[in-house]
């Protein structure tokens, strides 16, 4: 809430030049190498450590995932309160949503793992809540099916991302 005035001012400056301002919303998951931010142990789909930096990660519980879904929606509402035009959900490049999509990082056996449908569940929940919060016309989604950043890979990426795109 304390950053809303900053984003409002920045958004006004962007709008003065006739441009739109869309804020990217992300959860880094196990990739938590953001300068200046101190993290507790990262959360991931299955608790595999970050392959880039070796950071430890804990398997996110369903309750933690529900909290993260609500946080995405709350952040989208704050972006709109700040006068921004919309948000882009970051579901790529080894961040948390991407960790659920790829079998290389998702070894879960519950409703968030295994089948392609289950691996897409977290993405679908995030998109659904953000759209409900600010409207579909103000939400974008970033996916990167061919990116292997963060050791992301899958035996059938076309099937995973076909389902991800159709589902949202």
Query: Which residue has 């869309």 as its token pair?
Result: 22
Closest CA to 43 of 25, 17, 62, 24: 62
Is 112 one of the catalytic residues?
A: no
- Enter the DSSP assignment of 44: E
Question: In sequence order, what E strands does the chain have?
Answer: 22-25, 42-44, 57-59, 86-90, 139-142
- Enter the DSSP assignment of 137: G
Closest CA to 144 of 165, 167, 168: 165
Question: In sequence order, what E strands does 6-118 have?
Answer: 22-25, 42-44, 57-59, 86-90
Catalytic residue among 27, 86, 94, 95: 95
Which residues are designated catalytic?
95
């Amino acid at each position: 809430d304390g950053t809303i005035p900053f984003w409002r001012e920045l958004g006004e400056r962007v709008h003065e030049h006739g441009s739109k301002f869309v804020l990217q919303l992300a959860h880094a998951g196990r990739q938590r190498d953001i300068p200046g931010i101190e993290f507790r142990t990262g959360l991931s789909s299955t608790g595999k450590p970050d392959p880039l930096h070796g950071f430890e990660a804990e398997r996110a519980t369903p309750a933690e995932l529900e909290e993260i879904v609500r946080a995405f929606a709350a952040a989208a509402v704050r972006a709109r309160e700040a006068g921004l035009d919309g948000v882009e959900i970051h579901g790529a490049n080894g961040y948390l949503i991407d960790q659920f999509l790829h079998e290389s990082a998702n070894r879960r056996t519950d409703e968030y793992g295994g089948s392609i449908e289950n691996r897409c569940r977290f993405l679908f929940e995030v998109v659904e809540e953000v759209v409900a919060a600010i409207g579909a016309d103000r939400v974008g989604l970033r996916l990167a099916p061919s990116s292997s950043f963060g050791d992301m890979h899958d035996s059938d990426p076309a099937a995973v991302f076909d389902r991800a795109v159709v589902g949202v």
